Amino acid sequence: MLELLEEMVNIHGVTGYETPVREFVESKLPKGVKKNVDNMGDLVVTIGKGKGGIIFAAHMDELGMVVAGIRDDGFVRIKSLGGIDPRIMPGRILRILTTKGEVRGVVGIKPPHLMPDRTEMNKVIQFEDMHLDVGADSGDEARKMGVEILDPVTFHKTFEIINDKYVAARALDDRAGCTILLMAIKRLAKKKLKKKVHFAFTVQEERGLRGAQLVGHQFEADYAFAVDTASSGRVPSSEPAMGPAVVGGGPALRAIDNRHISDPAFVREVKTVAERAGIPVQVIFTGGGTDAAAIEVQGPKSLPIAFPARYTHSPVEMVAIKDLEDILALVVALVEEYAA
């Protein structure tokens, strides 16, 4: 799982620019599985037969940026796509995906030596005031390097295993979910099922669950599950009451978030399925929203299944390896419960 996850994390896939991620997933699918790519770019892999069934969704897109402007002096302006906290930006290395290949640059920051007023160090630099230094001495040189307006921009990423129990990386939200779905497909592809199971790799979740809306329209299902994150507040800088999910405590059933309230009876039902399979789960509330909210309005009972994460939407999102393994086991158990 970790080798596949590391590959998935390192792919360019800013929201709205998910094609490289989709192509990677398609290259790893078992031969002969039924798949569909819609006009927005969602990839849906279907196994089983019959009517109704289940949708599992995980989003391919990650938070990122696009090139917003190229200055005459060669510095590049950027615009955020999704909820990036500007506090994490100064001093970062960014990767621009151009038609000529990848161009790297650094987000510059004024050093204290050039500040007449040192209180400037306490201010958060906003995106419109940032510049990306790609090493070009003019706008023409930057363009010759391949940089163009609207080129997608991602963070330079590392993939770290911490204490043999945790993984820390950028874009675990939601490449970890995509990895879980891909592994579930490999486990279940040859299984005879009485109902269809759709594994949806969605686009533009970070811009309003847009891909999942289309998936919900296209595919009939009785149940829908989004495999995504839940922010954990159990760190020194936060209040646990703001995010009760425990990293390492097992899959988190997101009963309530900002976009979705699951049927309490259905939450208990899924919890029972997990307990019968020996999978520890935690029932939580959290902020944000997942693809389940977009799919639910088309009719299926729905519930997000989350891996608790520390430092969500940062370059060092941190999750427990055991939680990912348990969610994979829970996905398989739910297929056996509702589609076998």
Q: Which residues are catalytic?
A: 205
* 3-state secondary structure string across 24-65: HHHHHCCCCCEEEECCCCCEEEEECCCCCEEEEEEECCECEE
Cβ distance 149 to 70 under 8 Å? yes
**Predicted pLDDT at 273:** 97
Q: Which residues contact 173 (CB under 8 A, 6 or more apart)?
A: 62, 63, 228, 229, 309, 312, 313, 317
User: What band does 317 get if pLDDT is binned at 50, 70 and 90?
Assistant: very high
Residue recorded with tokens 């007023």: 117
The whole-number average pLDDT for the span 246-251 is 95
CA 236 – CA 215 distance, rounded (Å): 39
For 46-85, what is each residue's pLDDT tens digit?
A: 999 888 899 999 999 999 999 999 999 999 999 999 788 8
Average pLDDT, the chain: 93
Token pair belonging to 62? 């990650």
**Predicted pLDDT at 118:** 76
Residue 265 has pLDDT above 90, yes or no: yes
Please tell me the least confidently modeled range out of 81-90, 106-115, 148-157, 167-176.
106-115
Q: How much is the pTM?
A: 0.93
Domain 2-62+170-338 matching CATH 3.40.50.1240: the answer reads: no
Residue 110 has pLDDT above 90, yes or no: no
* DSSP labels, 163-188: TTTEEEETTHHHHHHHHHHHHHHHHH
Written out in words, the top-level CATH class of the domain with range 64-155 is mainly beta
Residue 172 has pLDDT above 90, yes or no: yes
What are the CA-CA distances from residue 195 to residues 11, 48, 223, 298, 337 (Å)? 33, 6, 11, 18, 11
Residue 101 has pLDDT above 90, yes or no: yes
**Predicted pLDDT at 135:** 96
For 175-193, what is each residue's pLDDT tens digit?
A: 999 999 999 999 999 888 9
Angle formed at CA 82 by CA 37 and CA 55, multiple of 5 degrees: 35
The whole-number average pLDDT for the span 101-129 is 84
User: What band does 308 get if pLDDT is binned at 50, 70 and 90?
Assistant: very high
* Spans of all domains in the chain: 2-62+170-338, 64-155
**Sign of the torsion angle spanned by Cα atoms 111, 112, 115, 121:** positive
**Predicted pLDDT at 117:** 77
CA 231 – CA 309 distance, rounded (Å): 5
User: What band does 239 get if pLDDT is binned at 50, 70 and 90?
Assistant: confident
**Predicted pLDDT at 316:** 92
**Predicted pLDDT at 240:** 75
